[in-house]
Each structure stands twice: as structure tokens, then as C-alpha cells.
Structure 1
Amino acid sequence: MTATAEPAARRDGAGEDPPAGGGRLGRVPEAFGGLFAALGLLCAAIALVEPLRRVLRPLVRGIDLLLVPISANLAYAVFLFLLAGATAARKKVAWWLVVVYLGLLVLSDALGLALGLYAQSLPSLILCGLLLALLLVARGEFYAASRRGAVWRALAVLLGGLAGAILLGWGLVLLFPGTLPADEHLAWAADRVCGGLVSSSSFAGHPPRAVTFVLGLLGALALLNAAATLFRSQRLEAALHGDEEARVRALLARYGDRDSLGYFATRRDKAVVFSPSGKAAVTYRVEVGVCLASGDPVGDPEAWPHAIAAWLDLARRYAWVPAVMGASEDGARAYARAGLGALQLGDEAILHVAGFDLDGRDMRVTRQAVHRVRRTGATCRIRRHATLGEREMEEIVDRADAWRDTETERGFSMALDRLGDPADGDCLLVEACGEDRRLLALLSFVPWGTDGVSLDLMRRDR
């Protein structure tokens, strides 16, 4: 069973935990995200569809005077879209960016009115002041952290990207100058890449329209990379550290008989978060902004809600989308009570060995397969991994790697992603050998409690 959902209400806590919130203030990030998305859509529309520029000119002029500049430029539209996504994701760096911008607008409008320079600044001052006040009151709703050093990295990416785009644009203008004079090639390229912010003077000519579009696109790509660097979520090292694996194994030793997939929590490409009591834990990995937990929480079911809450708090802190893959029915209920939704995708096949046989009509296909293998003279051997010598295990690993269909191992919540590790001595190896004792196929099972095993690896000679 798989569970996915939006986060439930945040919990208050100390340190870096997300602050409490809710009600109308809780909708402020999404509202600002929607505003910036609409503005970005407007900029993209007038940049791509020229007739719309005349039709929407009054609207564009009104927004330009009241709130933010509106430009028929793809780079600016891309930036607004990224800012919308970061604001809706409650990124703290996006809050700072918008607050500083609105603060500068308020200051500029106030000075204009005080000096009697801009009489039309009053509506802009009122609107920007209200939006700034709203952001300041709702500052606790913007708690998601970005990567460390993101501001400096983003600045370096922006400057490098713009420099490269300007040089490339300069080359295009040299090849296709149109009516543009030779002494204005570089200035025009820089002006187009930067969205008209470089030169305030008019040019004596212009290159073909296609060149203008390409340079605007280059500027958009530079801004896209910089904004993505700025708003990117904190990276997570997917690994177990210190005594974490030992603590997970201790929980499995005590409660592992509840979950046939529990042993896969010891995968070393996952991180783990424990409940405050240490009696339960959630193992997870972050991929492209999704905090993906695998299977049920490990440990005491009574402590599951606390482990899930700690995992959700961590996801909210970095604006990761929480999701779970491979949970049992009990686990899905626990995640659902924490605010996630559940979707049934399938069920496990469980063999009770003591009562299993090949008789009956339903087992006819299986019975035929057994007879075919038996006629080849193949035999079966079952051993614990710990009973194999080092050299013999190396040969098993080599065969398993050679028989794998793809380079990437699949099965995040149902595969161990390692074979022959000394820590997995209790795992069970099942080998099918031919009459000449040559290995034909193998299965590897991980422990399930004290009297069960769960399939991990299945490989065969092609």
C-alpha cells in the first residue's frame, strides 16, 4: 500500500522545527505564489503573442504603476514562475526577496510623495505597504530552508550565465546584424539578454526578430539556472550514520515479525529519523524534492505516530513533499491518521511452508514448471549467507551482477541493494544447480522476524 498527501497541520517545536500556523495566515504563501504565477503568465503571453501587447496595454500599465514592472520578456516571466513556486513552497529565501523588493518600492514611493515628484505614487504606496505588512505578519509561514550558501551560488551562476549568454548573443548579432550599426552590437546583445536593463538609450537599428527571441531565451535560461540554484531545497545525504543502523537492527530484533519488509530499512542509501523516545523510526530518501519513506515505521507501533510526526516535521522544514511507498495496511492507517492519503496498489504473496503443497487444479501451472526443472536434473541448495566462505560469496555476487538485466537496482522498499555483506549473515541463499553442479539461478531472502524470510534478490542464467 502506498500513501501520499499534503502535509497536515504543523506542530510547534523548538530549534528548527516549523512554527505553528494555520487559518488565513496559512494561505498567505499560496496566495503570493498565485499572484506571481499570474504575473509570470502575463509576461509570457505578451512576450510570445505580439497582438496581446496592444490589447493588454492598459492592464500592463496599471500593474506596472501599482506593483511590479511588467515586461514582454521570457527571462522575467521565468523568474516570476520560479518565485511563485518558491513562495508557495514557503521558502524563507523567497520571503526575504519579496520583502526586500516591496520595502524598496515603499521607500521609493514615500520619497516620491514627500518630494512631490510622483503624485501617482500614492496608490502604489498603499498597495505595496499592505502587501509588505501582510508578509511581515505571516513571516512564520515561510520556514522552508534552501541549501546552505544558496545566495552566493545563485549570484555566481547568474553572472556566469549572463556573461556566457551575452558573448553568444554578440556572436549571433555579428552574424545577423540586420540594420543595427556595428558599434552597437555588444550593447544591444547585453541589453536583450538582460531584458532591457543594461542600456537606457535607444538603438539606431535592430537585428532580425529571430535573433531577438534567441537572446531573450538565453537570458531566460541564465535566470532559470540562477533562480533554481537559489530556491533549491536542502540536499540530504542518504546514508545511515554512527549507530543508526545498529539502532534500526535493534528495533527489528524486537518488532521485526510485524513487517515482512522491515529488514529493508537497513539499506544504507536511506536516512532515518527516530521518534523522541527512540522506540520507532522512519527510513526515507529525498529525490527531486520528494521525501520518500519506505514501508512501515520500524519499531513499537505505539511510537509510530511520533516517528511519523518527526519525519513530517523534517519534510516541512525543507519544503519536501512527503510520500510513502510499500506500507502495509496498518502502516497506511498510521500515515493516514497523520494527514496522508492512502492508495492500494497490491498485496504480498505469502507462503506458509508447513501447509504448502502442489496438489489441486490451481497449482497445475506451478506443478508443470516443477516437473520441467526436475527433468533437467537440477537440484536445490539452501544456506545462510554466514555459512559461505569469502571466495564462494564473491562468486555468487559476480554471477548475480552478470545476470542482472539493467545497471540500476530497483526496489526501494523491497530490495536490500547489497549482496554478501558480512552484516547480513542471517539472510538465506537458495541456489538452483545443474547436474554438473553449475549454478543456474539464485534467490536471496532477508529475515522476517524469527521464523520467516522475505524475497530480496531473484537472478537466473539467461
Structure 2
Amino acid sequence: MSSTSKQPPSVPDAPRRSPLARIRPVAAAGTVWYLRLIALLNLLAVVAVPFRNTVRTHSEGQYFTPYLMTAGLATAVLSLFLAVAMRRRKRAAWIFNFGLGGLTFLLYLLALLVPGQDHYDSHPFNYFSTVLTGLFMLCLVVGRKEFTSKGDRSNPRMAVATFLGGLLVGGLIGEVLVDVNNTLTGSGFGDRFRYAIFRMITVTPSDRVLDVINVPNWVNAFINAMGAVLFLLVLYVAFRSPRGKELLTREDEAKLRELLDRQGERDSLGYFATRRDKAVIFSPTGKAAVTYRVVGGVSLASGDPIGDPEAWPGAIELWLAEAREHAWAPAVTGASEEAGVIYARHGLDALELGDEAIVELDEFSLEGRAMRVVRQAYNRVKRAGYTVRIRRHEDIPEAEMFALLDAADHWRDGQTERGFSMALGRLGDVADGRCVMLECHDGEGRLRALLSFVPWGEKGLSLDLMRRDRESENGLVEFMVIELLEKGGKELQLERVSLNFAMFRSVFERGSKLGAGPVLRLWRSVLGFFSRWWQIESLYRANAKYRPIWEPRYLLFEKSSELPRIGIANARAEGFITAPSLPSLFRRRHRRPLTAEPSAPTAEGGGQG
């Protein structure tokens, strides 16, 4: 072998970026900061009367003001809205600014270059406004290629429909208010409707109807407020991000199940990737996948990527590329430490959410002083005559499964199905035959509680659903879990079981110890207060009694400024925040036959906790 062959391969020099490519991000950022500054100045003009009067005097006289500087609240909101859209690099916002800003700049140039009786060219401030507007346009042109985020193709049509529909509804409401409160006579429906429309669009009424319409100030204010709400709604519809895919296809689900068959033991939450209200992106090799849902402009992935860890980066890169293409905020909820490290290499930061309780069956025992309270509760329920039956879903006859589903429906607390990252969202589907059902009956043979677990590889289970009769014996769920932990090894060849997720577990554990600092104690008190509604502390204590192994789970995000948005999206996905809709008030739930092929999600579901 020649000596040259032993030399390490040369690393090619990184391609040098052209000067224009280097200043594009700076120019794009310049447009954002310009819009933020204009929004701030407009807002100051709204609250500071002298400044507002000065700006309006200049605008109505022989002065120009920079692009979007009008001293109005509507323009302040518009500027802020555009700044947010431009920061997310939305192409639609760039087109809007280029069209409106370009027209403004051309009008300024014509006014300065073409002589006229107004003598605009004699005022130095007009040159300042023209130059500032021109610099904004220059930044737009230079940074054009930075604005690549796609919007929904239906946005323009929906914005126009929203504007026309809102104008019609607002005009009709305004017409009724004017008709009831008008102190003059002689106005017809057309006059009153025109009055309301002009008030919504221009804030001032049409001069043609002032001689027949006179209403109190509160009516005018209400109509103007409707116009402002319509304006914001049209902006939101025009620039909102596309919602993305909602359901897994049958082919996608089949591929995910193949990956779970090979690598399913890696993550206790892996099986929840088969929720059919998630979308999926596979790595180029097809050996890994990221499952996610788009909620409120957030591309929310859950758990670890599915499949071979060596192929995870390929799936993560494609998922992030899609999020940036559509201006979605990427986030991951419930990731393990192993996945968190991989995500961090792709630019995401981590925040610990809490811990997952995992019990190793060969280490679990009811013996010892530490388990005395649990042992007493278990023996008390057992003496009351309760028994537990453990079966795979595939071993339950169809008629019995329907009876179990009816009982689960009857015991459900409310109509909202909670769960996204740690719940399957369906029960009794034929594709979930490897799931495990625990049925608890009282001494008279009546069904009192149900637990359902999803597979975690070949020798593990992960809790999916808990339902029980509220009138049953206290400690029934604990009794069922202990029965599984004591019998699951022999009957199902289990080695480990994942129980509930305890959010902010470390806060409760460290905050109750001697020497805990004031900040930690305050944080523990705050979480304890919210536990009255969301069972934060009670879930931790309910699982701590089994003396489990605590595995931390993380929330991953790209920008700290997007954490509130991500938190709301996560709460919506998990079912803690629900937006009411009229169709849902009248929609009847239909259970899919147990023999149907996997397609859309059923209405049945549950969730850990």
C-alpha cells in the first residue's frame, strides 16, 4: 500500500457564502424590527394625545409618514401582526408588505419628483419618510429568499369569505342597533345598513345618512369594535399556518407497527405512535419515524422517534424541515433522555416535564415496612370479595368486549377524551389485540373497574386507560395494579410495567424535604394549588407507593419565546383545554365494529391518569 493511501482523507473546504447570502438574514431581520418599531410608535400615538395629534396633523397636511405610521390602533395591530408573520418567515406576509409598501413608496416618489401645487418637495420630513420607506423596501428585496414558509392555499379564499361574511353579519347587527336607538326619522333599511357598514370599515359614517340617523355613542363604539374584531379575524385567517395532515393512512400504520415489532421495547410510549389522529414522517431509509400533530401552529411530536436510533436523525431532520417550511413551531412532549440528546443535536432545547413510573416485576414485593399501607389496602379490597381477570384483547369475545366498552363509556368523567402522548385514544380495536385488559368484579360478580395496557415490546406493558365505578371500594385501582404486578410475570411473561406519568415529580419530592429553598417551596405550593383540578400531586403519590423506577421525560423546543404557544398546544392536544364547536354539541358518537379494518380513530379512548 502506498504511503499516500495512508493519509487521512482531505476535508473539502466549506463553500463560501456570497456577500449577498450573508446579508439576507440581516435584511430579513431588519424588516421585522421596522414593523415592531412602527407598531410601538402607533401604540404610543394611541395613548399619547400630543404625539397622536402631531402625527395626524402631519399626515393630513403636507407631510408624509413612514410606511404604516398612522397613529391608529388598527395600524398598530396590523404592524405587530405582520412583524410576527415576518419573523416566522411567511411568504404571504412578504407579498403583502411588498405590494402595499411598494405602492406607498412609489406614491411618495411621484409626489416628490412631479411638481404640483402642494409642494411636497419643500418639506425635509417627506424625504426622511420616503428614505425610511425605501430602506424597508430594500430590505424586503434583499431578504426575499429568506421568506420561504408556506401558508395554506385556502387562506386567501378564506380571508375574503371571512371579510364578506363578517361584514354582512356585522352590518345586520349594526342595522338592528341603529333601528332601535335612532333618534331621527326617515331612515330605511338600506340607510341603516350602509351606516353600519361604513362605521365598520372607515370608523366614520357616510355623509349621505347623517341627516336621518343619530345614535348614542355606545352604538357607534360597538359597531367600531365589531369592525376591529373582523379586521383581526381576517388577518388571522390570511396568515395562519396550514393545519397539516390529521390521520395516519393504513400504509403508515402498517409501517409503524413493523418498526415497533423490531424496536418496540426501546420506549414505553412507542405504541401510542399508532394513534390515528397523528401524522408521520419516515426517515429516508424507512428505518425510523417521527409521529406528530399540528395544533395551533405547533408541530407537536410525542415520545421518542420510532425505529432504529441510528436512523432517528434522518426522520428528525425531515420533520424539522417540514415545520420550518410551514412556519410551525417544532416541539416534542414526553421524550426520553436518549431521544432528548439526539433532538438537542438538531437545535432543540430541553425542559424536564416530570417522571414516568416504571415497575420491574422481579423487584416488586408487598413485603416490608415501607409497603405496609399498600399491603393493608390490598388485603382489605381482597377480603371484600373483589377479583381481577387479566386477558389480552384478542382473547376477549366480541360480545364481552362490547359490554366492557359500554361500561368504560358509562364511567368516563366528562365527554372530553384526554391524552395524546400517553394514551391510545381508542379501545376495542381489532388491530390492538396484544393490548391487555384488567377487569375487576366485586363479590357479587358485577364489573367495577377496567384497566387497559398497550404493549411495550414483547415483555412490557404501558398503562393506557383507567375507568372505575365511582361507587366501588376505595383502593380498587391499586388492587388491580398489584394483581398485575404479582401475576403478570407468570400469566403474560412480563418483566416491566409503565404506570402513570408524574408531572413535576422532583418538585414535590425535593420541596417536601428539610432544607428546601423558598423558591422550590413556593413552586411546590403553586403546583399543589393546581392539583385540585388536574391531579398533579395525587398522581405522583399514587405511583410512589409502588416504589417504581422514575424515568425522566422532557419537553423539547426550539425557541424559549414559543414556550407559551407550545404549552397551550400541548394542553389542547392532551385534552386539558378544549375549544367548543357547534357541530360537537349535536354529533353522536358511533362505535366502529370490532371487525372493521383500521382506518379512522374511534370515539373511545382514555389516558394515563
Scaled to the shorter chain, the TM-score interval is 0.7 to 0.9
TM normalised by structure 1 equals 0.86
Equivalent in 363, 367, 386 of residue 359 of structure 1: 367
2:224 equivalent to 1:228: no
Corresponding residue for residue 139 of structure 2: 134
Q: Give, as a single letter, the amino acid of the residue that structure 2 aligns with 1:68.
A: Y
Over 3 Å counting, the alpha-carbon distance change for 1:197 and 1:27 in structure 2 is farther
Structure 2 counterpart of 1:377, which letter? G
Q: Which stretches in structure 2 are left out of the alignment for 5+ residues?
A: 1-19, 471-609
Count the aligned residue pairs: 439
One-letter amino acid of the counterpart of residue 455, structure 1: L
Deviation, structure 1 residue 61: 5.6
Q: Which residue of 1 aligns with 2:284?
A: 276
Q: CA deviation at 1:44?
A: 4.7
CA contact (8 A) 1:74 1:220 kept: no
Structure 1: unaligned runs, 5 residues or longer = 1-20
- Report what 2:53 is aligned to: 57
Give, in angstroms, the shift of residue 339 of structure 1.
1.3
Amino acid at match of 2:50: R
SS in 2 for 1:350: strand
Tell me the distance in 2 between the aligned counterparts of 1:225 and 1:400. Answer: 40
Q: How does 1:23-172 map to 2 (within 5 A)?
A: 25-26=24-25, 28-44=27-43, 46-47=45-46, 49=47, 52-59=48-55, 65-71=64-70, 73-117=72-116, 118-119=120-121, 120=123, 122-172=127-177
Q: 1:109 to 1:75 in 2, by over 3 A?
A: closer
Partner of 2:223 in structure 1?
Answer: 215
Distance, in Å, in 1 between the alignment partners of 2:252 and 2:45 is 55
| 1:209 positional shift | 3.8
**Taking structure 1 as reference, are residues 186 and 350 closer, same or farther at Cα in structure 2, changes over 3 Å only?**
closer
Residue 405 and residue 326 in structure 1: after superposition, are their counterparts in 2 closer, same or farther (change >3 A)?
same
Partner-residue secondary structure (3-state), 1:347: strand
Q: Which amino acid aligns with 1:236?
A: G
Greater mean deviation of Cα atoms: 299-308 or 26-35: 26-35
Which residue in 2 is equivalent to 1:443?
A: 451
Post-superposition offset of 1:234:
0.5
Amino acid at match of 2:135: L
Aligned counterparts of 1:438 and 1:185: Cα–Cα separation in 2: 67
- State the distance in 2 between where 1:199 and 1:70 align: 25
Deviations 1:120-152 (A, max 9, x none): 554443322221121111112212222112112
Please say if 1:389 is aligned against 2:380. no
Query: Residues 163 and 439 from structure 1, CA distance in 2 versus in 1: closer, same or farther, beyond 3 angstroms?
Result: closer
Closer, same or farther: CA 171–417 of 1 in aligned 2, 3 Å = closer
How does the TM-score come out when normalised to structure 2?
0.66
Native 8 Å contact 1:146 1:234 kept in 2:
yes
* Rounded Cα–Cα distance in structure 2 between residues aligned with 1:55 and 1:181: 41
SS where residue 108 of structure 1 aligns?
A: helix
Q: Secondary structure at the match of 2:356?
A: coil
| Contact 1:74–1:217 (8 Å) recurs in 2 | no
Q: Distance in 2 between matches of 1:344 and 1:180?
A: 67
The one-letter amino acid paired with 2:166 is G
Distance 1:169 1:77, change over 3 A: farther
CA contact (8 A) 1:431 1:441 kept: yes
Closer, same or farther in 2 for the Cα pair 1:77/1:171, shift >3 Å? Answer: farther
Worse overlay, 155-164 or 274-283: 155-164
**CA displacement, residues 421-461 of structure 1 (integer Å, 9 cap, x when unaligned):** 11111111122222333222221111111111111112212
Residue identity matched to 1:115: V
Corresponding residue for residue 317 of structure 1: 325
Deviations 1:82-132 (A, max 9, x none): 223222222111100000112112222232233223315544433222211
Task: Report the equivalent of 1:248.
Answer: 256
Instruction: Check conservation: 1:445, 1:453, Cα contact below 8 A.
Output: yes
Secondary structure of the structure 1 residue equivalent to 2:355: coil
2:27–2:142 CA contact under 8 A, matched in 1: no
1:195 aligns to 2:195 (yes or no): no
Preserved CA contact (<8 Å) 1:31 1:88? no
Q: What one-letter code is carried by the residue in structure 2 that aligns with 1:370?
A: Y
SS in 2 for 1:349: strand
> Which is further off, 179-188 or 36-45?
179-188
Could you give the per-residue CA deviations for residues 315-354 of structure 1, whole angstroms, max 9, x where no partner exists?
A: 1111111111111111111122211111112222222222
Q: Does structure 2 conserve the Cα–Cα contact (< 8 Å) formed by 1:382 and 1:430?
A: yes
Q: Which amino acid counterpart does residue 35 of structure 2 have in structure 1?
A: F
Q: Contact 2:275 / 2:425 at 8 angstroms: preserved in 1? A: yes
Once the two structures are superposed, residues 375-420 of structure 1 have per-residue CA deviations (whole angstroms, 9 ceiling, x without a partner) of 0122222111111111111111111121111222222111111111
SS across alignment from 1:331: helix
Identity across matched positions, percent: 45
1:230 Cα deviation after fit: 0.4
1 CA distance for matches of 2:70 and 2:203? 9
